[in-house]
Amino acid sequence: MRRRNKIDLRLNDAELAQLNHDVEKSGWSREKYLRALIANRPIRERPPMDLVSVLKQLQQINNNMNQIAVKANSLNFVDTAAYWENVDRLEELKGKLLEVMYG
């Protein structure tokens, strides 16, 4: 296990407020945030929860479409009702994703 050294860092109120604000936006711990700064790694804002929800739903639809494709391949038959239901869900989610991205 790597041993980490402890350092003291003195900040004024404005600097501390800015650091806390930036750490909160990243969703990381303060230590992880500062290590990323030191390593010159890119720090991105945490995505909004709406986006996370939409991405989970897209993953579920992807799984459904894959199951339909596997079944269609093995049976040489496509369940068109299930297929179009998932297409409709994809269209709905596309609208939600655009709304989250562009407001």
- Give yes or no: residues 55 and 42 share one domain: no
Domain count of the fold of the chain:
2
pLDDT score of 36 more than 90: yes
What are the phi and psi torsion angles at 24 (to 5°)?
A: -60, -40
| Residue 87 falls inside a structural domain | yes
Domain of residue 33 covers: 9-46
| Residue 2 falls inside a structural domain | no
- How far apart are the C-alpha atoms of 79 and 65, rounded to whole Å? 10
Structure tokens at 67: 């199951």
- How far apart are the C-alpha atoms of 94 and 97, rounded to whole Å? 5
- Give yes or no: residues 19 and 56 share one domain: no
pTM of the model: 0.49
Question: How much is the pLDDT for 103?
Answer: 63
Please check whether residue 101 is in contact with residue 47, taking contact to mean a CB–CB distance below 8 angstroms. Answer: no
CB atoms within 10 A of CB 59: 10
- Give yes or no: residues 24 and 55 share one domain: no
- Give yes or no: residues 98 and 53 share one domain: yes
Question: How much is the pLDDT for 22?
Answer: 93
Q: What is the pLDDT of residues 53-92, one digit of tens each?
A: 888 888 888 888 888 888 888 888 888 888 888 888 888 8
- Give yes or no: residues 42 and 61 share one domain: no
- Give yes or no: residues 31 and 53 share one domain: no
- Give yes or no: residues 14 and 39 share one domain: yes
Q: Residue 52: what residue type? A: V
SS3 label, residue 42 = coil
- Give yes or no: residues 56 and 40 share one domain: no
